[in-house]
């Protein structure tokens, strides 16, 4: 294990402190004889100021908290590595993208955007997807989201967006939610957000797992090769398990049953050895083709449709180690889109340009000064030398009398590097123009790609988008704002706007010219994603004296397919089948809830309280059925199944009628949801 550690892990070893089995000391290393009673003048007398241990302990506690992030406060992270599939030398000189098979340590943080650090995790929200590459040329940060575009086109509007989506200041509600007046007032009066709102109302914003969502760099960057030739580039993270979501009712219930649902899923998967994998893809456009598209490639509210600009898969990231300490790593990690390496450069995307300022400014207030790069999680694996000195939290002990450039006392060192020596040189883009506070006309189309997204959705996805709009806009109290939203989205699709109007009590749109776009992009629909049974969680509802041979066969088949199995019964302990086959109960009906599982296997059996057992099982079955999840029914489980509201149909695999139960049940689990259980009665 030790020999397989990457360079970042070895570096972090220097900062790890293992307290187990050690003697208690002060921060100065002095051993402590008493840690339960402060020093007093007599048994009932006052505490004495000379108790240095009490003062040190209390002072540190009083200063334990740092400001949470304004956005992306609720996050979770893991360590891993990135392995390159093929050389990118024709496009970039970035060293970590040159040699196939080379591995680079990474640290990846996932997050929600709107909520506070203590908010729930399955809210409807954009998810942050930030990756720090610890390369030999310095740290490279790819700081993005699970949606490829953004709400606004210019960074100067970012404070307005965040103010609008955060809890309203007069009553500090609602937490971690966009379903309120100020957010939708912002949307209706900043119509560049139209495309992003279509994504935001889709199931992309209620992911099943961090492990099952895409990641995007959002902005257009540049690759620059050793010859100085540039390509425009967008970055994509493709999850190996496919892109899957929760349903809204399920997401809301999970917030109450397990507000740590996503972080628990990531932590447990890695602890079990089910390492998390994403492939890195790039879209590339030659400089000469910058203006050949019907959209501006620098507009952060636009995608490059994959059918027009294919995604080239170039490597794989594997997250294989959980953090040792959430605060020291996940909370103190400082990402910055301006952390680049030679061969990766910026473009004139006005949202990106603003982020290049904002991130450093944020870290200064959060992490207490300019030395946050010296914290273990942020420290590069390559050496760093410069003339920066002092400040809060300084750890480096700089040796010598010189701390300026140019100098003769140290032979003008540390010295700069030429481009050939690895020095970073900005791409020499020709720039002309007058100083102006305006936006390019090429950014003016706000509705065509929103319509492309709508056209690309399946009937089920469209139904969910309408439901999401209905819920969110239905929470808006101001009727005028509701009407503005309806009128705005009539520019996308009149049928969509009419459905929203009907749901929220607004006037139907009239006289609005919707976008004429008829194209589709199959890559945008989650219906076309990878569907595997791997790491799906199945709840086995079981009592005593079950059919051991049947259960053993099904459980074995699930495990071999990579499915995780939890045995659930009325109480903890060992349960025996008729043939003495035994299972150990993992959870009880009281300690878990059906929304925390991807599928059910209904076994049945005897119970101490048969009536309650049947009621609890029926609740599990009804919830799973309502959320379109697969349900397998053993021969002994039919009585429980028939006692629920579920009926035989898509995704229901019954042992009495299935010719190949195990195979059929695994296939049903892989499908994830069985939307064809319901006829919506709503047409495109």
Q: Looking at the annotation, which residues are catalytic?
A: 72, 145
The three-state (H, E, C) secondary structure of 463-511, written as one string:
HHHHHHHHHHHHCCCCHHHHHHHHHHHCCCCHHHHHHHHHHHCCCCCCC
In the DSSP assignment, the letter for residue 411 is T
By CB atoms closer than 10 A (0-12, 13-18, 19+), residue 375 is: middle
Do residues 31 and 23 touch, judged by C-beta distance below 8 A? yes
Do residues 554 and 601 touch, judged by C-beta distance below 8 A? yes
Do residues 178 and 471 touch, judged by C-beta distance below 8 A? no
Between the CA of residue 414 and those of 283, 392, 394, 417, what are the distances in Å?
38, 23, 19, 10
Phi/psi at 276 (5° precision): -95, 130
Do residues 452 and 517 touch, judged by C-beta distance below 8 A? yes
- Burial string for 215-250 (b: 16+ CB within 10 Å, else e) reads bbbbbbbbbbbeeeebbbbbbbbbbbbbbbbbbbeb
In the DSSP assignment, the letter for residue 587 is E
Token pair listed for 270: 């890695």
Between the CA of residue 142 and those of 80, 106, 134, 287, what are the distances in Å?
15, 11, 11, 22
C-alpha 454/C-alpha 524 separation (Å) is 9
Helix (H, G, I), strand (E, B) or coil at 470: helix
- Nearest 5 degrees, angle CA 113-CA 211-CA 664? 135
Question: Which H helix or E strand runs over 223?
Answer: strand 221-224
C-alpha 225/C-alpha 343 separation (Å) is 6
C-alpha 342/C-alpha 356 separation (Å) is 17
Question: Which H helix or E strand runs over 455?
Answer: helix 448-456
Residues 6+ apart with CB under 8 A from 39: 47, 48, 50, 51, 54
Cα torsion angle, 607, 610, 616, 621, sign:
positive
Phi/psi at 81 (5° precision): -150, 155
> Which residue, chain included where needed, has tokens 């992306």?
72
Do residues 327 and 282 touch, judged by C-beta distance below 8 A? no
Do residues 207 and 244 touch, judged by C-beta distance below 8 A? yes
CA atoms within 13 A on the CB side of 434: 4
> Which residue, chain included where needed, has tokens 């000064």?
369
């Amino acid at each position: 294990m030790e020999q397989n550690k990457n360079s970042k892990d070895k570096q972090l070893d220097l900062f790890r402190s293992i307290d187990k089995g050690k003697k208690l000391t002060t921060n100065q290393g002095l051993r402590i004889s008493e840690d339960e009673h402060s020093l007093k003048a007599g048994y009932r007398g006052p505490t004495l100021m000379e108790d240095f241990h009490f003062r040190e302990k209390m002072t540190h506690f009083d200063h334990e908290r740092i400001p949470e992030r304004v956005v992306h406060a609720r996050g979770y992270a893991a360590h891993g590595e990135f392995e390159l599939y093929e050389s990118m030398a024709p496009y970039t000189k970035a060293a970590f993208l040159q040699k196939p098979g080379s591995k680079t340590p990474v640290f990846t943080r996932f997050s929600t955007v709107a909520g506070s650090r203590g908010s729930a995790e399955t809210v409807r929200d954009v998810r942050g997807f930030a990756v720090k590459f610890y390369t030999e040329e310095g740290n490279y940060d790819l700081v993005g989201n699970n949606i490829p575009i953004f709400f606004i086109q210019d960074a100067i509007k970012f404070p307005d967006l965040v103010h609008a989506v955060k809890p309203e200041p007069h009553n500090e509600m609602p937490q971690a939610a966009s379903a309120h007046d100020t957010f939708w007032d912002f949307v209706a009066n900043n119509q560049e957000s139209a495309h992003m709102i279509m994504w935001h109302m889709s199931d992309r914003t209620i992911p099943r797992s961090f492990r099952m969502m895409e990641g995007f760099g959002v902005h257009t960057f540049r690759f620059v090769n050793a010859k100085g030739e540039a390509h425009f580039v967008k970055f994509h993270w493709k999850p190996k398990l496919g892109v899957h979501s929760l349903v809204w009712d399920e997401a809301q219930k999970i917030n109450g049953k397990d507000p740590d649902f996503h972080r628990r899923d990531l932590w447990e998967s890695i602890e079990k050895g089910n390492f998390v994998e994403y492939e890195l893809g790039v879209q590339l456009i030659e400089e000469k083709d910058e203006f050949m598209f019907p959209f501006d490639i620098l507009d952060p509210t636009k995608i490059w449709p994959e059918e027009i600009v294919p995604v080239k898969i170039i490597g794989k990231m594997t997250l294989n180690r959980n953090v040792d300490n959430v605060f020291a790593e996940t909370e103190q990690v400082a990402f910055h889109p301006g952390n680049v390496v030679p061969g990766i450069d910026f473009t004139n995307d006005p949202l990106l340009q603003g982020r290049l300022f904002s991130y450093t400014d944020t870290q200064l207030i959060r992490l207490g000064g300019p030395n946050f790069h010296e914290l273990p999680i942020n420290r590069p694996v390559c050496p760093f030398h410069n003339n920066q000195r002092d400040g809060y939290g300084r750890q480096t002990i700089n040796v010598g009398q010189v701390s300026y450039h140019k100098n003769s006392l140290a032979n003008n060192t540390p010295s700069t590097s030429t481009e050939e020596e690895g020095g970073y040189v900005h791409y020499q883009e020709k720039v002309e123009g007058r100083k102006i506070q305006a936006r390019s006309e090429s950014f003016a189309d706000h509705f065509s790609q929103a319509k492309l997204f709508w056209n690309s959705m399946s009937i089920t996805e469209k139904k969910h988008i309408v439901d999401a709009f209905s819920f969110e806009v239905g929470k808006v109290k101001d009727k005028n704002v509701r009407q503005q939203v309806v009128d705005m989205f009539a520019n996308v699709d009149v049928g969509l706007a009419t459905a929203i109007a009907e749901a929220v009590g607004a006037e139907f749109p009239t006289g609005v010219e919707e976008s004429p776009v008829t194209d589709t992009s199959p890559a945008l629909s989650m219906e076309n994603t990878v569907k595997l049974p791997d790491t799906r969680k199945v709840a086995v509802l079981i009592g005593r004296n079950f059919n051991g041979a049947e259960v053993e066969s099904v459980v074995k088949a699930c495990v071999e397919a990579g499915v995780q199995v939890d045995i659930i019964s009325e109480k903890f302990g060992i349960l025996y089948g008729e043939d003495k086959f035994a299972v150990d109960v993992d959870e009880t009906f009281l300690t878990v809830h059906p929304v925390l599982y991807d599928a059910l296997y209904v076994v049945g059996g005897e119970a101490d309280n048969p009536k309650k057992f049947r009621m609890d099982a029926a609740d599990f079955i009804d919830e799973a059925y309502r959320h379109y999840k697969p349900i397998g029914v053993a021969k002994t489980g039919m009585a429980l199944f028939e006692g629920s509201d579920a009926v035989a149909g898509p995704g229901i695999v019954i042992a009495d009628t299935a010719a190949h139960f195990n195979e059929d049940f695994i296939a049903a689990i892989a499908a994830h949801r069985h939307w064809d259980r319901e006829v919506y009665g709503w047409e495109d």
